[in-house]
Amino acid sequence: MPLSRENSLTRKMAAATLLAALVVATLFAGIESFTVYRSELQDIQTDIGRILDAQKDSAAKAVYELDAQLGNQIISGLRSITSLTSARIIDDYGTTLAAFTVERTRPALGWLTTFAGIDDLVIRRDLRASSQNMGLGHIEVVVDRIAVLDQHLIQSLSRASWIGAQFFIVALVLGWLFHRQIVRPLLDMVGQISHISPGDPYALPVAAPHALRRTEIGLLAKAVNDLVRGATLALEQSRQSEARLLTSRQRLARAQDIAQMGSFERNLITGETFWSMGLYRLLGHPSTDAPSPALTFMGFLHEEDLAAITSELDELIAQGSSSLERDIRFKRLDGTPRHGSLAIEIGYGPDAQAQFVYGTIIDITARKSAEQALRKSEERYALTARGANDGLWDWDLETGEVYFSPRYKEMLGYADDELDASYGIWAQLLHPDDKEQSEATANDVAEGRADSFEMIFRLRHRDGSLRWILSRGAALRGQDGTCLRMAGTHTDITALKEAEQALAQTEERYRTIFENEPIGIFRTTLDGQLLEVNPAMAAIFGFPDRETMIAQVRDVGNDLYATPLLRKRVIDQLLLSGRRIQVEVEFQRLGGERFLANMNISMTAETADGTVYLDGAIEDITERRRAETALRDSEERFRKLFEEMQEGSALHRIVVDDAGKPTDCIYLAVNPAFESFSGLSAKDIIGRRGSEVLPGDNTELLKICGQIAQGAPPRTLSTYLPDTRQFFQTRIYSPEPGHFATIFTDITQEKAAEDRLRASEAKYREIFDSTSDAIILHDMRTLVCLDVNAAFRELTGYIDEEFQILTPAALSSGEPPYDEAGAQAVIDRIKAGETVACPWPLRRKDGSLVWTECVIKNVYLDGQETIMAVFRDITERKKLQEVMVQTEKMMSVGGLAAGIAHEINNPLGIILQMTQNLSRRLSRDFPANATAARDCGLDLDRLAAYMERRGLDQYIEAIRNAGERAATIVRSMLDFSRKSDSNRTLCDMAVLLDQTLELAARDYDLKKRFDFRRIVIERDYAPDLPPVECSETEISQVFLNIIKNAAQAMAGNPTQELPPRIQVRTSRDNDQARIEIINNGPPMDEATRRRIFEPFFTTKPPGQGTGLGMSVSYFIVTNKHGGSIMVDSGPKNRVRFVVRLPLPGSPQSRSEGQ
């Protein structure tokens, strides 16, 4: 036997070694072949690169410049490389410029192509020009990998074979050595062991193997042999005792398993603990575990039990007792609470010291559960009996005795001792309508026609209400079948009945809804049969009523859906979702019109027969869609409006505190106009708080906005931004509760226009009030006075708002034609469009009348027909007329003078010239006179003496003076009539005054009567007075007249204390030049002052002045120059003449210039 084992091992080893050699050789061959193949491919690529690099300069040309020669150069270079199948130069368009292909016969290894997926290797190189990729072509080289592989395979295989052979030889040698030196001694040794094992362990080996004598390994084997022999003996013994122990343990474990029991023991001295497998199992621990240190002694026990047991154990030990039994609660490892029964035994040592605790635990959870279930069941029964709803009755037909249980009575509102139990009572309480039926049923049982009954009747409750009672009963029969007793229960089913009724009502309600619901409701079968629809559904689909629809629709998919496929999809979807779905489906009406509907559909399986129904509701949403589209369009429009409107607009949400008081707002949206108005960007403020965006105190504004957001009416506020000088009108309203929107309108322009209007109004008001004519406005229709101007108030004496009571009649004198009727006549005329001008005696507030010239016309004010009456006080005009009369007078004087001047001048000429001749011919000095006198014998000297004596000289002189005076008067009078010489120039008043003063100083008359040089002249000329357009000579004459008058007046009063003085002043008085000439002569009395400008009025003695100087001056200033002249006289010896002349450009100046 050992021999055959030896042979077998050697053979196996030899085979293994051979196999290993083969594997190694093959491996080597493969690796070699692959390496060669890789390096060969590398070489080919390098070669291609090299060839291409060699042609680099030539190839650095655009492809279109590649000529055939260059192409062939490259190709021939490539051709030298073996294993190349083909190479070609291709341009970008895929055209082959040059190529070669080598036809190769497929080598023996061709099958690898398909087997190993080895294919030709294609190498592509882009043609490059210098460093720049021309991108115009490339070279494509195809390498036949199989050829490469083929070429080197034989070489690789031979090398691999060589290596394999070497390895094989080495393996053989090693194998022999191994066998010789190790395996054989070992086999000998094993042979020895096998000899001793089955037999006597102590027997000596029979024979030592031959090899053991010589080698050290033999000695070693002998030693091992001895050792093995001893060990085998010990092992055998141990194995036997172990087997016994195992058996005993298994037995114990099985017992414990069966008893669901676990046991443990603990050495109280050493603390060692042992748990049985049963215990582990009991506690749910993996049974293979060793006692876990984590599990303390009885750590699984309920805390209370542990404490109790511990103390009991202590007590036991103290008493020296040895056993304990009790129920315990414990936990399995997974936390399940269990009940157990614990038995403990204490082992004492010889010294009565407690040494061991032994214990067993039995799981009694099942028993405990059963006990508890029983107890619960009992309790439940008790409770049920106590709280049972049924009343019990028992009727002994033989004795007629009846028992009603307390619950029976309670059901009807009676206490246990209140209601006598009898058949009669029941019959009394029974509702009359139920009586017949109930008694009949009871009789049926009583008389044997039925064994039990169940009926419903109504009994009257103590409070008068009716109770629905379900009565069940059964008969107890005697031997002969007669009914001895009947007993049963009463159940109050009033609530149930009521619920039933309510249910019926609900059902009715649902039916009503079903009938009246505007949404179509339907039920179909799964395969498309229409079972039920409501009228709305029929209407939606265009059927006259639901019956017709149900009758006519054969297949829902065909008849109602736009296409049958739609229904299939819906059902697929429904099946997928498995519950109610909502879909939008296109349906068709009876006429074929298609429409879109929203459908809620669900699947119901009736359990009774397993039929599947589809229930659903359909809402025609065509209109809704239209409305939605319209709404969207509208929203779009309004959004655009919001975006495009010129008014800035912002939407805010109000933020309130807990008390509902607005504390802030949040910007929700703003439009571009708002951004431009506010200079704030929407992205910066949307979603932000008002307090962040507009810092500062906005409490008041927020309060207003908050009120509006909470329902107050919209408001419009005006805001002025001083920084930008802009006025804003802000409209605040609430588009929805809790929100407010603001619309800002820039009303700066409007405001400006308004201001202008107001200014204009004020201006016209000013004009209205400042005009000297009294104006009153009446409403044409009502004749209510609307307004009067200041002049009217002044003229009539009415003050403030008193004018409001004034009617046209009240302003009339009351005497025809100036009475109410007259006023009405005037109003009628102006109503007809006429403008009425007439004199009108206007009644003042004090009742007095003032004569006015009245112009009344119809005007439109504020779109209202208004009577405007303008009254001019003609009292004043009369004064003017007087002035005009004065002027007329002067004019007529002038005209007269002009008419008679010629006639007067001739005689005056005769007088004066004759007087001159007379004087000369009487003169002694004139030679002619002497001759004539001599001829006549007259002595001229004597004549002279005679004339002197008789005063004839003076006569002549007097005649001459009178003639001269008359001539002056005539000339002065002519000034009135003389047309303005229109020789007007711009005169500087200061210059003119100076010239006039000089003239005055030289004046003959002045010199004669007054030394003008004694008069102090004071000049005060305004430097800014512009020149006056006037007739220089005329104005000079005016000034001269005044100055002369002044000088003469002062001369006439030589006793005055002050030196005579004339002040000459000029100044500008609006658009008039004002010239004042003031003297300090005697004051002018009032009569003189008033008449001073009248013609021929003079204060001078006769012969001095013509009486026309001042009136001519007046005429010149007022009539010819449109100015004015006045004189006043103050108390302090002062007479002042004031001449006003219009400055160029003033109205008077213009009118006078024409």
Partner 1 sequence: MIRILIVDDEKGIPQALRDYLEDAGEYEVRVAGSGEEGLLLLPDFEPDACIVDMRLPGMDGNEFILAAHTTRPDTIFIIHTGSVDYVLPERLREIGLTEEMIMHKPLLDMRIFEDILTGLLPQKGNRT
- Inter-residue contact 789 to 769 (CB < 8 Å): yes
Listed residue (334, 335, 329) closest to 363, CA to CA: 329
Q: How many alpha carbons lie under 13 Å from residue 805 in its C-beta half-sphere?
A: 6
Part of the chain binding partner 1 (CB under 8 A), chosen from 460-468, 795-803, 905-913, 1087-1095 = 905-913
Q: How far is CA 200 from CA 194, 231, 270, 1022, in A?
A: 12, 13, 42, 172
Convert residues 947-986 into a mask of x (bound to partner 1 by CB under 8 A) and - (unbound).
----------------xx--x--xx--x--xx--------
Tokens 């930008």, residue? 724
Least distance between partner 1 and beta carbon 937 (Å): 20
Angstrom distance (rounded) from CA 837 to CA 852: 10
Which range in 236-244, 363-371, 902-910, 1128-1136 contacts partner 1 by CB under 8 A? 902-910
Contacts 24+ apart (CB under 8 A), 797-802: 797/844, 797/845, 797/846, 798/845, 802/845
Tokens standing for residue 459 = 């009994």
Q: Which of residues 790-819 bind partner 1 (CB under 8 A)?
A: none
CB of 926 to partner 1, least distance (A): 7
Minimum distance, C-beta of residue 1148 to partner 1, in the bound complex (Å): 27
Give CA–CA dist 1064/1061, Å, rounded: 10
594 vs 921, beta carbon nearer partner 1? 921
Tokens representing residue 74 in the block: 């490259």
* Spatial separation of the C-alpha atoms in residues 416 and 1120, rounded to whole Å: 141
Nearer to partner 1, 217 or 930 (CB): 930
Cβ-based neighbours of 827, under 8 Å, separated by 6 or more: 780, 783, 808, 856, 867
Q: Are the C-beta atoms of residues 614 and 642 closer than 8 Å to each other?
A: no
Of the pair 260, 977, the CB lying nearest partner 1 is at: 977
Q: Whose Cβ is closer to partner 1: residue 49's or residue 909's?
A: 909
Q: Which of 511, 921 has the CB closer to partner 1?
A: 921
Residue among 640, 637, 648 nearest 671 (CA): 648
Q: Determine which residue in the list 913, 985, 1056, 1151 makes contact with partner 1, applying CB under 8 A.
A: 913
Q: How far is the CB of 945 from partner 1 (least distance, A)?
A: 22
Closest residue by Cα to residue 1062 from 1019, 1017, 1020, 1093: 1017
Helices and strands (H and E) in the chain: how many:
36, 36
* 906 touches partner 1 (CB under 8 A): yes
Give the residue among 972, 963, 864, 858 at the shortest CA–CA distance from 915. Answer: 963
Side-by-side strand order, sheet with 864-873: 785-788, 774-779, 864-873, 849-861, 836-843
Among 422, 886, 905, 1088, binds partner 1 (CB under 8 A): 905
Rounded to the nearest 10 degrees, the angle between the axes of helix 952-977 and helix 940-950 is 70
1108 binds partner 1 (CB under 8 A): no
The DSSP secondary structure of 59-93, one letter per residue, reads: HSS-GGG--HHHHHHHHHHHHTSTTEEEEEEEETT
Q: Which is nearer to partner 1, 919 or 1146 (CB)?
A: 919
How far apart are CB 906 and partner 1 at their closest, in Å? 5
- Which one of the spans 87-95, 325-333, 830-838, 920-928 is the region binding partner 1 (CB under 8 A)? 920-928
Nearer to partner 1, 699 or 913 (CB): 913
Choose, by CB under 8 A, the member of 328, 908, 993, 1000 that binds partner 1.
908
- Integer Cα distance of 976 and 900 in angstroms: 13
163 forms part of the interface with partner 1 (CB under 8 A): no
Identify the residue among 295, 581, 855, 914 touching partner 1 (CB under 8 A): 914
Both tokens of 870, joined, read 């303008």
Which of 154, 255, 885, 928 binds partner 1 (CB under 8 A)? It is 928
CB 1109 → partner 1: shortest distance, Å?
Answer: 18
**Residues whose CB is less than 8 angstroms from the CB of residue 1055 and which lie 6 or more positions away in sequence, other chains included:** none
911 touches partner 1 by CB under 8 A: yes
Q: Which of 901, 962, 969, 1138 binds partner 1 (CB under 8 A)?
A: 901
Task: Rule CB under 8 A: say whether 39 interacts with partner 1.
Answer: no
Interface region with partner 1, contact rule CB under 8 A, candidates 438-446, 793-801, 826-834, 913-921: 913-921
Per-state percent for the chain, helix, strand, coil, to nearest 5: 50, 25, 25
For residues 874 and 967, which CB has a smaller minimum distance to partner 1 in the complex? 967
- Return the number of the residue (93 or 1004) whose C-beta is nearest partner 1: 1004
In the complex, the smallest distance separating the C-beta of residue 1114 from partner 1, rounded to whole angstroms, is 20
Question: Which position among 143, 402, 912, 993 is part of the footprint of partner 1 (CB under 8 A)?
Answer: 912
Cβ distance to partner 1 smaller for residue 9 or 938? 938
If the CB atoms of residues 421 and 898 are measured against partner 1, the closer one turns out to be 898
Question: Is the Cβ of residue 611 or residue 913 nearer to partner 1 in the bound state?
Answer: 913
SS3 417: coil
Cβ distance to partner 1 smaller for residue 671 or 972: 972
CB of 254 or CB of 921, closer to partner 1? 921
Neighbour count for residue 423 (Cβ, 10 Å): 14
Q: Check binding of 902 to partner 1 (CB under 8 A).
A: yes
Considering beta carbons, is residue 811 or 912 the nearer one to partner 1?
912
CA distances from 791 to 657, 811, 850 (A): 63, 15, 13
Residue span binding partner 1 (CB under 8 A) among the ranges 611-619, 900-908, 939-947, 1130-1138: 900-908
- Continuous H helices in 84-198: 111-115, 145-178, 184-196
- Whether 831 contacts 823, CB under 8 Å: no
Taking CB under 8 A as the criterion, the residue among 65, 903, 1020, 1085 binding partner 1 is: 903
Give the x/- contact pattern for partner 1 in 1056-1085, rule: CB under 8 A. ------------------------------
Could you say whether residue 921 binds partner 1 (CB under 8 A)?
A: yes
Q: Write b or e for each residue in 127-161: b if 16 or more Cβ atoms lie within 10 A of its Cβ, otherwise e.
A: bebeeeebebbbbbbbbbbbbbbbbbbeebbebbe
For the CB of residue 934, give the shortest distance to partner 1 in the complex, in Å.
16
Our CB check for partner 1 shows the closer of 424 and 909 to be 909
Q: Which is nearer to partner 1, 390 or 953 (CB)?
A: 953
Instruction: Choose the stretch contacting partner 1; rule: CB under 8 A; options: 273-281, 627-635, 663-671, 914-922.
Output: 914-922
Distances (CA, A) of 307 to 301, 303, 328, 333, 878: 9, 6, 11, 20, 142
User: How many binding residues for partner 1 (CB under 8 A)?
Assistant: 29
End-to-end CA distance of the chain: 173
Residue of 240, 676, 848, 917 that binds partner 1 (CB under 8 A):
917
Which residues between 369 and 408 bind partner 1 (CB under 8 A)?
A: none
What is the footprint of partner 1 within residues 753-772 (CB under 8 A)? Answer: none
Contacting range for partner 1; rule: CB under 8 A; set: 527-535, 910-918, 933-941, 1103-1111 = 910-918
Q: What is the distance between the alpha carbons of residues 536 and 514, in angstroms, rounded to a whole number?
A: 9
Q: Which amino acid, one-letter code, is at 1103?
A: G
Q: How far is the CB of 774 from partner 1 (least distance, A)?
A: 46
Among 190, 474, 566, 898, binds partner 1 (CB under 8 A): 898
Find the helix packing angle between 216-259 and 184-196, rounded to 10°.
50
Closest to partner 1 by CB, 365 or 919? 919
Binding interface with partner 1 (CB under 8 A): 898, 901-914, 916-917, 920-921, 926, 928, 963-964, 967, 970-971, 974, 977-978
